Structures are given as structure tokens and as C-alpha cells.
Amino acid sequence: MIYLNLLELDLLNLLDLLKLTDLKSFIEHLSPSGEIPMTFEVTLDKSRQMYEKAKTLIPGGVSSPVRAIKPYPFYTASADGSKIRDLDGNEYIDYCLAYGPAILGHNHPVIKAAIKEQLDKGWLYGTPTELEVTLAEKVAGYYPSIDMLRFVSTGTEATMSALRLARGFTRKNKFVKIEGGFHGAHDAVLVKAGSGATTLGEPDSLGIPANFTKYTLQAPYNDIEIMTSLVEKNRDDLAAVIIEPVLGNIGPVLPLPGYLKELRKLTKENDVLLIFDEVITGFRLAMGGAQEYFGVVPDMTTLGKIIGGGMPIGVFGGRREIMEMIAPSGAVYQAGTFSGSPCSVAAGIAMLDYLKEENIHAKLNATGDYMRAMLSEIVEDEGLDYTVCGIASMFKVFFGAEPHNYQEVLKCDKEGYLAFFHRMLASGVFLPPSQFETNFISAAHSEEDIEKTLEAYMENL
């Protein structure tokens, strides 16, 4: 829903928007009582109509819960560079960027060319390809912790398989996840899991027997003491600790100095595998992800999002002795019809090469620094007790004090944020529709985009 002030609107545009043909019906439409209000609602007509239909066919009208925006989401017609356009022809500067993958912006010509080239050769074989070997070699080059890896189709599959493998390798059952950490939507990890669940106020899901999560332990982020006692107490049956190095799905919430290094030391000393879920941070913070950025080497890593260039993908990898336990070389089973899908892998190769050759992260991280600095100034100038957080090309204005864990994130003013989200949308800026979701910057965002965005923050905060 977008609220427009009548005085600011050109009348003819308005008639056009409302699809009303004459002034009489226009006035009647505005005000059956004959009194013309100063402010009224203009709906995104086509999106609203699409939503009415969609919700009869698709639960909630969306294919993934984070996309549900109250009262209804805009339905996208196309996207290009930093801009996303809806069915009604509105255009927004996009900081959601498909929740992370579109680090070069939408519809990037280099990625598109790689996909087109692959399309001409066919897009699904069910046989191994040279493409997979090429991408695997590149990933192993950027991530020294990854000797071997396997391709899957989503981040969800990657963490599901990584956890199974960690359990198979260690012959232990339990794992620790971080409260508010999101690792996809499979049974074992859907406990206090990130923005979708958190925004909807349903930290757990129906349909998951309690027995399925009895091996899932929770620890608050950034608290090495609680983690230490949990790991030491459970070490005999503890396979792994899985963590987003930067909590991206409720944040970004950053690790306190030394936290990840201490976690590495703790897990090593207790014979527990450390899994970095870098589905967001991989190729976002640096080519070598958070592990390069913070200088911490995990035993296993999961990747997704950026590494597919916008096509569906997931990766899990790690030390050779662990990875060799995966079928067919080992006894931990894992399989997928679309695993290593040629278009995804071709897009991924093009993405990695472009990021590296164009030194994209230097430019992006500088834009991120600028954005955070300017936003901090705006927040201060407006005298708000809000906080600007972020790292590299991730940022967020938290409507509250800087959070260091899930419980602190929950204290932020999420209703206030949602109202702000709608004001930003009306100003032509699309932020992720939740206080608990990271904003991303792409290489396609121009200086003009950034300045317009800062103006919109200034107006709407």
C-alpha cells in the first residue's frame, strides 16, 4: 500500500493511475460523501489483483515466506542493473537483490552471455561435465579450507548434506547452531531460525517431530562462554557447530573481535567439526568469504546464492578426508537430479571470473563504507536511537541499539521498521521487507542510486 499526498500529485497522472476516465467518477471514487480528503491510498492495482489471484493458488500468494509483504507484495515484471520493476510499471532501487545472489545487479550481460552460451549446448545432461570440474577447481583455489566439494541445487540442500556428512564422519549425532542463524528450511535446522520464521513470529514449524530436533542444540551468537560449556558438556556426541560467520538472516549481526577464532580453537580442542555456512558471506565479503575476511579456517563450508550467478545452486565442501565419505566414494549418501546443473555452473564460473578480474569487492566494500557512514550521520542528525550496522557490501539500520545476538535483535522496533519499509518503497527504494534481513549493495548501484537512496532515508527515517 502506498500513501500519496494529493497535493503532491499531478492530477492527470493520478487519473491514469486509478484508471478512471472522467473527473466525476474520480471524485466519487475519492469520496462517496462528497468531501475530498487530502490524503488517500493509491494501490498498486496490478500487483494487488495478482495477489488476489495468487493467494488462491499459492499459499500466501508467494513462493517463499520472506516475499510476503503486508498487505500484499509487488509482483515483479522485470529487473535490470540496480532496478526492479513491478507489474504496474513502478521502478525501485533494489537493496534486496534476490536476498543476496545478485551481487552484480540484475540481468548482468556477462552472466547472461554465459547462460545463453550454455543453453545452446543443452541445459541438463544427467552426466558429469567439465564445467563442474572447472568451477570446483576455482572454488578450491579461493577457499583453502576446501579440498573437495559437491554441487547441489540450493543452500538448504548444502547445509542438510553438510550436517549429514559431519555426523557420518564423526559418528556423532548432535550439532550446535546459533540462535537466529538460518541454514535453509530442512527439519534439523528449523529452530530459532532467521528472518522468515522470526518475522512471522513462528520460530518453530509444525510438522517437525520433536525427535527430529532433539540433536539440535542452540547457543547465542557472540557468547563463547555458553558455547564452551555446551561443547564441553556434549562433546562425546557432538558432531559439529554450524554457524553463519556474520549473521545475515537477522542482520547483519557482526562477530565480536576474536569470537570466530575462539570458536575455531574450542571446536578443534573438542574434536568437533566447525561448519561455516557462507551461503551469504561467500563471495560477498571477499572472494574467499568470511573465512578469508576474518582469517579463520573451518573444517567444512557451505556456499550458495552468489556462486550460481543467480541460477539455483548450493555447494558443500571441506577437508579431503571428510568429503571422501560422500557417496559414491564413501558411505554418506547424497544425490540430486539437478546437482551441478550446467547453466548454474556456467553462470557461476562467469560470476567468479568477473568478480575477480574486475576487483569488484574493493569497489563494493568502499560503497558499503560510504553508505554506512552517511546513514550513521543521518541517524545522528535526526536524533534517533537507531544503529547502522554492516560489513563489506551489507548494511542495515536497526531500529534500536546495535544487536550482538538474536535476543538483542528481537528488541528492535519491527512494526516501526515495517512502516518505514513502506515509506521507502513509496520513495522508490526496495529494502528487504523485514527488520531481520540484510540490505545488499550490488556493483550496478551508481553514485546517483546511492544519493537518491540516502535522500529517501533522510526523508523517511
Ligand X SMILES: *Cc1c(COP(=O)(O)O)cnc(C)c1O
Q: What residue ranges bind ligand X (CB under 6 A)?
A: 154-156, 159, 182-184, 244, 248-249, 277, 279-280, 304, 314
At its nearest, how many Å lie between ligand X and the CB of residue 142? Answer: 18
Of the pair 154, 341, the CB lying nearest ligand X is at 154
Cβ atoms of 95 and 453 closer than 8 Å: yes
Separation CA 143–CA 175 (nearest Å): 23
Of the pair 96, 456, the CB lying nearest ligand X is at 96
At its nearest, how many Å lie between ligand X and the CB of residue 184? Answer: 4
What are the CA-CA distances from residue 295 to residues 50, 178, 252, 279, 286 (Å)?
47, 20, 19, 18, 11
Of the pair 151, 182, the CB lying nearest ligand X is at 182
Of the pair 279, 296, the CB lying nearest ligand X is at 279
Strand 39-42 to 2-5 pairing: antiparallel
Cβ atoms of 399 and 416 closer than 8 Å: yes
Of the pair 280, 379, the CB lying nearest ligand X is at 280
At its nearest, how many Å lie between ligand X and the CB of residue 183? Answer: 5
Of the pair 177, 404, the CB lying nearest ligand X is at 177
At its nearest, how many Å lie between ligand X and the CB of residue 247? Answer: 9
At its nearest, how many Å lie between ligand X and the CB of residue 113? Answer: 24
Calculated CA dihedral for residues 373, 375, 380, 383, nearest 10 degrees? -170
> Containing H/E element for 238?
strand 238-243
Cβ atoms of 90 and 44 closer than 8 Å: yes
At its nearest, how many Å lie between ligand X and the CB of residue 152? Answer: 9
Sequence-ordered alpha helix ranges (H) in 208-341: 224-234, 259-269, 289-294, 320-323
Residue with C-alpha cell 545488499?
Answer: 440
Cβ atoms of 245 and 177 closer than 8 Å: no
Of the pair 314, 368, the CB lying nearest ligand X is at 314
At its nearest, how many Å lie between ligand X and the CB of residue 71? Answer: 25
